[in-house]
A and B are shown apart, each in its own frame.
Chain A
Amino acid sequence: MLNILVLVKLVPDTVEELEIAPDGRSLDPASVRLILSERDEHALEQGLLLKERYGGTLTVIALDVPEVDDVLFTALAKGADRAVKITGMEPGPSTWTAAGLAARTLAAGPGLLPADLILTGVQAIDDLDGQAGPILARLLELPYVGITCRVEVDPGARSAVVVREYVGGVTGTFEVSLPVVLGVQSAEKPPRYVPVAKVRAAMKSQRLESVPASGESAVMRVEILQLMKPEATGRAVMLDGAPEEVAAQLCDVLAARGLL
């Protein structure tokens, strides 16, 4: 029976136009719609696959931010056994602060540690000063493997075989003793879809647990001087018109380069 923890976080949806706040150093909250970080969705899926394959319990854990309830109920509807939010913390820009807080709260939260596997997304689009996985691993003094795309556990031997992506399609295989922290790049299957009706059912029948953030959060060791929209450098020549017209213009461009 594996005890699997999956740490997830919400990040700004980049489909929305992100605006910078008047202080020049943070995002305007009015422009931000939070969604589950894409890699964390893969971490959850990998955790669910491991639970189904080897048995055990899966707990999904997130910092308490707006929209987090929906994300946690969705995880319960997908098959997580417990959903825990860490409350009483101002979400800040620092991965260190958040990961440090999570590490301490895991230790203090009821029945969370010891875990066999702690999974999180390998990276998030708001990782300014680190990545949560390696930071957690160091703070919990556990080994870490990142960019994972496959995990096999040998529960008897208390070990796992983990496949990590390198470059050019090459992967490396590691054998690691449990417990371990994994930074998931992609789950072995695409993240499962769960119908809204099942999420609603989870909202009625299950409950979210809250654990207050404990201890001082880790220090942020960097100073943000300014946020800015990147200046458009070498911006493309933009073509306009109805689809037919644009298609004709594009074909002219290709023809001029001898590509047709």
Chain B
Amino acid sequence: MAGEIWVLVEQWRGRISDITYEVLALGREVAEALAGSLQAVVLGPGAGESIFSLGAADGALMVEHSALAEPVPEVYALALAQIIPQRQPQALLIPQTNVTMELGPLLAARLAVPFLNSCRDVQVTDGRPVARCILYGGKVEASVTPQSAPAVFGILPGVRPPEQGRVERAPAVRALSVDLPTEFPLRFRGYTELEAGDVDITRENVLVAVGRGIQRPENVALAEELAAALGGAVCGSRPVIDQRWLPPSRQVGTSGMIVKPQLYLALGISGAPEHAQGMKEAALIVAINTDPRAPIFDIAHYGVVGDLLEIVPAMTTRVKQGKQAA
């Protein structure tokens, strides 16, 4: 069945994730450039009513099995490894999030097919799909092409606007069956919600975010003071949470929270993709960083190359003075 482009429908806790529509929009372009058909691949208990939102695809391939109830990458890989040889798609585009992160490599290893990580775009050149992959925390990009088909691509969030891929129309549904073992060496036991912190950063209008550039735990107080003066809260990127300088409830990024405040002040944050995905929709992004080439300056509205340890206290003083004067 040559000529199919597949997009894996990411479902998270009963809902189709926005990134699915972003990847469908990309898949539509790739399918058209390759004169193929676009198929949405739905694993698990079925998409229910949401199937009607997958109209960007020509068809939906439904794989229903009780073992696919939760997104366990090992089990998903096993299922996909059974249906890919049946239909030989040219490409499988997988949304690359923490729900499915290891699925691509596991699948590529099972089938001995090419895998491309962290794609921020895929275009067709001379009849071949060519991906733009992000490397070195966003400091370098690679244009890469698979040497054979089918090929698996991990697509980063933000590849296209989700509304471009959300089309209300029922795609033609085809059910595929898989034969999965009842016993896996890996058993899913359940989800745990993050213990609520003192502050819900997704509800704050002003966030002062600290990253590795804050250098020492005692410097977090500088950010706290500025946040207090601005009437906001402090949050952080992964390295700061890993060091336990802030609790996990304050983490912004792919495995933490997605925030959309009126102001996001990024202090000493380089802006690696995992962090950017959690905050790039903020209304105003201001970044202070010592590295003039930090990727954060590509998504910030205003930037300062400088020492946050000097600038932040000066800002705090000014904000407080302004408030007193008012």
Contact = CB atoms under 8 A, between A and B. Distances in A.
A126 B135 contact: yes
A134 B108 CA distance: 10
Given A167-B97, A172-B190, A238-B304, A226 B117 contact: no
A74 B194 CA distance: 34
Nearest to A177: B185
A47 interface: no
Contacts of B291: 15
Contact of A128 (B117, B193, B287): B117
Interface string A210-240: 0000000000011111111110111111111
A235 B310 CA distance: 24
Contact of B302 (A27, A145, A186, A253): A253
Contacts of B141: 227-230
Contacts of B322: 251, 255, 260
A137 interface: yes
A204 interface: no
A17 interface: yes
Interface in A48-75: none
B257 A236 contact: no
A36 interface: no
Given A146-B101, A146-B102, A222 B186 contact: no
Interface string A139-175: 1000111110000000000000101011111111111
Contact of B185 (A126, A176, A230): A176
B319 interface: yes
Contacts of A85: none
A236 B280 CA distance: 13
B138 interface: yes
Contacts of A254: 230, 263, 284, 286, 319
Interface string B236-273: 00110111100011010011111000110000001010
A143 to B, nearest CB: 4
Given A20-B140, A171-B191, A175-B189, A129 B117 contact: yes
Interface string B282-303: 0011110001010101111111
B142 A226 contact: yes
Given A251-B315, A254-B263, A134 B102 contact: yes
A15 B209 CA distance: 20
Interface in A77-96: 95-96
Contacts, number: 270
Contacts of A130: 104-105, 108-109, 115, 117
A165 B146 contact: no
B99 interface: yes
Interface string B10-40: 0011000000000000000000000000000
Given A146-B102, A227-B142, A125 B136 contact: yes
Nearest to B316: A247
Interface residues of A, number: 85
Interface in A92-134: 95-96, 122-123, 125-131, 133-134
Given A12-B136, A254-B263, A174 B315 contact: no
Contacts of B135: 125-126, 128, 227
Contact of A143 (B137, B184, B286): B184
Contacts of B118: 127
Nearest to B300: A236
B102 to A, nearest CB: 4
Interface in B176-227: 184-194, 206
A248 B311 contact: no
Nearest to A172: B191
Given A230-B138, A236-B297, A247 B144 contact: no
A243 B193 contact: no
Given A127-B118, A146-B102, A221 B318 contact: no
Contact of B305 (A223, A237, A238): A238
A246 B311 contact: yes
A222 B293 contact: no
19 contacts: A27-B140, A129-B144, A133-B105, A135-B105, A173-B192, A176-B187, A185-B255, A225-B145, A226-B142, A227-B141, A229-B140, A230-B140, A236-B285, A239-B304, A247-B314, A247-B318, A250-B302, A254-B263, A259-B263
Given A174-B72, A224-B144, 12 more contacts: A15-B291, A125-B136, A135-B105, A143-B186, A167-B255, A169-B255, A170-B191, A237-B302, A243-B306, A250-B286, A251-B322, A254-B319
Interface of B: 12-13, 70, 72-74, 97-99, 101-102, 104-106, 108-110, 112-118, 130, 133-148, 151, 184-194, 206, 230, 238-239, 241-244, 248-249, 251, 254-258, 262-263, 270, 272, 284-287, 291, 293, 295, 297-307, 310-311, 314-315, 317-319, 322-323
